[in-house]
Amino acid sequence: MSRSGSDASNDPAGRPLPWERLSEELITHCPVFDFVSRRMRHPRRGTEADFYVLKSRNWVNVLPITPEGEVVMVRQYRFGIEALSWEIPGGVMDAGEEPVAAGLRELEEETGFVPRSSRLLGSISPNPAILDNRCYFVLADHVTPTGSLAWDEHEELETRLFAMDDVYAMAQRGEIAHSLVLNALFLFYPEWQRRQARRRS
Amino acid sequence: MSRSGSDASNDPAGRPLPWERLSEELITHCPVFDFVSRRMRHPRRGTEADFYVLKSRNWVNVLPITPEGEVVMVRQYRFGIEALSWEIPGGVMDAGEEPVAAGLRELEEETGFVPRSSRLLGSISPNPAILDNRCYFVLADHVTPTGSLAWDEHEELETRLFAMDDVYAMAQRGEIAHSLVLNALFLFYPEWQRRQARRRS
C-alpha cells in the first residue's frame, strides 16, 4: 500500500523525495562532533528550510563475551542524562580506522580485555534525523583480562561481568537503556539463540 | 568483578562518581532541541570540563500492527544522513503529553491509522552521552486506516505494510537501520514470540 498524502507537489508515485543541500554552516565545533546548520530545498515543492545536524566520526560498540559466556559491561557517568549508565565498551573511531580494530582498541583501553576472535555484527544509524554518522557493532569472543587499561582524560569506568541471559533480562526491564547497547543485543540475538541451541543439543 | 583503574582519586570501591554541574550555557536554540554547554566538576578529582548536550523533549515511536499481523512502516527523507529511511511512525512529544497518547497522535498524523488497543512497550535513552531525553515505545494493535493524515510542514511520508517476519529480517540485514526503530523491535520481540507460539498451539 502507498499513500501520497494531500500535497499535490509530491512525487506522483507518492514517494518522498530527497532534498537538495544548498549550503552548510558550522555553528559550533565540539570534541565529538561539529554542530552545523544545513539549508535544504525540496526539489519539487521548492520550499527551503534550515535543519540542524551533528556531523560526527563513526562510532563503535563491542559485545565482549568471556569463555564462560559472560558479557563484559562497563558503568560510567554520562553527561547527557547526568547519571551512571550500564553499557558495553565503545567510543569514537579514529580517522581511517576499521570498525573491528577500533572496537578492540576501545575494549582494551576501557576494560583491559582482549579477545581470541572477533567479527563485525552490523551497523546502524544512531539518529538519521540529526546525526550523519554510523555506529558499528563488533562481537569479541573468548575475551580475557590480559591487556592494558588506557582511559581517556575524563573516563572513569566500573567493569563487571554479567551472564548473557541476565543482560537480556536487564535490557527488557530497562536497567540497560542506552539505545546503541540495545542495538548490539538485538543484532546478536539470532547468534545467541543458535549458540544456546548448540549447547542444548 | 570490579576494577578501579590507575587513578587514586577514584571512589575507593572502584565505582565511577556522578559529576557536579557548575553551570549551563545555551549555545543554540533549535526547533527540536536546545544545544547547551555544561561546565562539570568531578567531585573527588576536582577536575573541570565543558560537555556539550542536546536538551530535547521526550520522543515517542509507535509499532502499529494490523489485524493481519503486518507492521505499518513509513519512509521519509532524513536530513542527518541525507537519504530516505524506513522507520515506524514517531515524533516529539508535546509538553505534558502522555507517551501512549503522543504515540497514537503521531501514528494518526503520519499514516492515518488508528488502533483498537495500545500500551507502553518501554522506554530508553536515545544517547545518554549527548542527549538528556527519553524515547518511549508504544505498541498499537489492530490498527486500521480510519483516521486523518496531518503532516508537519516539511513532512512527506510513504506508508507501507510489511509482515512482521520481514521487518525482523530487514532489521537484521541492515535495511532498517534507525537505532530507535530497532529498539522498538527489540522490546517487542518477547511478545512477538509469545504471539507466534499461541498461533502455532
pLDDT, tens digit, 9 for 90 and up, residues B34-54: 999 999 999 998 999 999 999
- Alpha-carbon gap: B104 to the closest alpha carbon of chain A (Å): 18
CA–CA distance from A86 to each of A74, A170, B152 (Å)?
Answer: 6, 10, 36
User: With an 8 Å Cβ cutoff, are A160 and B2 in contact?
Assistant: yes
pLDDT, tens digit, 9 for 90 and up, residues A17-68: 999 999 999 999 988 899 999 999 999 989 999 999 999 999 999 999 999 9
What does the pLDDT read at residue A155? Answer: 82
Mean predicted confidence (pLDDT) in B72-83? 97
* Interchain CB contact of B125 with A (< 8 Å): yes
What does the pLDDT read at residue B9? Answer: 45
- Alpha-carbon gap: B93 to the closest alpha carbon of chain A (Å): 16
What does the pLDDT read at residue A7? Answer: 44
At A33, which helix (H) or strand (E)?
Answer: strand A33-41
What does the pLDDT read at residue A151? Answer: 85
Of all residues in chain A, the one with the smallest CA distance to B41 is: A154
Q: Is pLDDT at B12 greater than 70 in this prediction?
A: no
* Interchain CB contact of A132 with B (< 8 Å): yes
Query: Which residue in A92, A111, A124, A168 has the most chain B C-beta atoms within 10 A of its own C-beta, making it the best mutation to test that interface?
Result: A124
B chain contacts of residue A1, beta-carbon cutoff 8 Å: 159-161
At A123, which helix (H) or strand (E)?
Answer: strand A117-124
From chain B residues 75-114, the ones with a CB under 8 A of any chain A CB are: 75-85, 111-112
Q: Which of A143-157, B46-60, B183-197 comes out lowest in average pLDDT?
A: A143-157
Of all residues in chain B, the one with the smallest CA distance to A189 is: B186
User: With an 8 Å Cβ cutoff, are A149 and B6 in contact?
Assistant: yes
Mean predicted confidence (pLDDT) in B10-32? 85
Nearest CA among B123, B50, B77, B88 for reference residue A15: B77
What does the pLDDT read at residue A2? Answer: 38
pLDDT, tens digit, 9 for 90 and up, residues A109-126: 999 999 999 999 999 999
- The DSSP string of A39-67 is EEE-TTT--EEEEEEEEE--EEEEEEE-T
| Between residues A154 and A84, the one the model is more confident about | A84
* Interchain CB contact of A196 with B (< 8 Å): no
Average pLDDT over all residues of chain A? 92
* Interchain CB contact of B15 with A (< 8 Å): yes
What does the pLDDT read at residue A170? Answer: 98
Q: Grid coordinates 547547551 are at which residue?
A: B36
Confidence class of residue B13 from pLDDT cuts 50, 70 and 90?
low
User: With an 8 Å Cβ cutoff, are A179 and B183 in contact?
Assistant: yes
Confidence class of residue B113 from pLDDT cuts 50, 70 and 90?
very high
What does the pLDDT read at residue B1? Answer: 37
Confidence class of residue A153 from pLDDT cuts 50, 70 and 90?
confident
Q: Is pLDDT at B60 greater than 50 in this prediction?
A: yes
- Give percent of chain B with pLDDT exceeding 90: 83
ipTM above 0.90, yes or no: yes
* Interchain CB contact of B169 with A (< 8 Å): no
* Interchain CB contact of B124 with A (< 8 Å): yes
Q: How far apart are CA B99 and CA B147, in angstroms?
A: 19
How many Å separate Cα B6 from the centre of its chain?
A: 36
What does the pLDDT read at residue B132? Answer: 98
Of all residues in chain A, the one with the smallest CA distance to B54 is: A80
* Interchain CB contact of A2 with B (< 8 Å): yes
Indicate the pairing of strand A135-141 with strand A117-124. antiparallel
* Residue A86 · residue A176 · CB < 8 Å: yes
What does the pLDDT read at residue B149? Answer: 85
A chain contacts of residue B42, beta-carbon cutoff 8 Å: 154, 156
The helix/strand/coil state of A81 is coil
| Between residues B60 and B149, the one the model is more confident about | B60
- Alpha-carbon gap: A110 to the closest alpha carbon of chain B (Å): 9
Q: How far apart are CA B127 and CA B124, in angstroms?
A: 9
Return the C-alpha torsion angle B166, B168, B169, B173, nearest 10.
130
Mean predicted confidence (pLDDT) in A177-181? 98
Q: Is pLDDT at A132 greater than 70 in this prediction?
A: yes
Nearest to B129 among A3, A80, A111 (CB): A80
Nearest to A158 among B15, B53, B180 (CB): B15
User: With an 8 Å Cβ cutoff, are A125 and B179 in contact?
Assistant: yes
What does the pLDDT read at residue B7? Answer: 44
| Between residues A45 and B8, the one the model is more confident about | A45
- The DSSP string of chain B is -----S-TTS-TTS---PPEEEEEEEEEE-SSEEEEEEEEE-TTT--EEEEEEEEE--EEEEEEE-TTSEEEEEEEEETTTTEEEEE-SEEEPPTT--HHHHHHHHHHHHH--B-SEEEEEEEEBS-TTTB---EEEEEEES-BS-S-----TT---EEEEEEHHHHHHHHHHTSS-BHHHHHHHHHHHHHHHHHHHHHH-
Amino acid making up residue A43:
P
How many Å separate Cα A74 from the centre of its chain?
A: 15
* Interchain CB contact of B182 with A (< 8 Å): yes
- Give percent of chain A with pLDDT exceeding 70: 93
Q: Is pLDDT at B175 greater than 50 in this prediction?
A: yes
Report the predicted TM-score, pTM, of the whole model to 2 decimal places.
0.92
Q: How far apart are CA A100 and CA B179, in angstroms?
A: 20
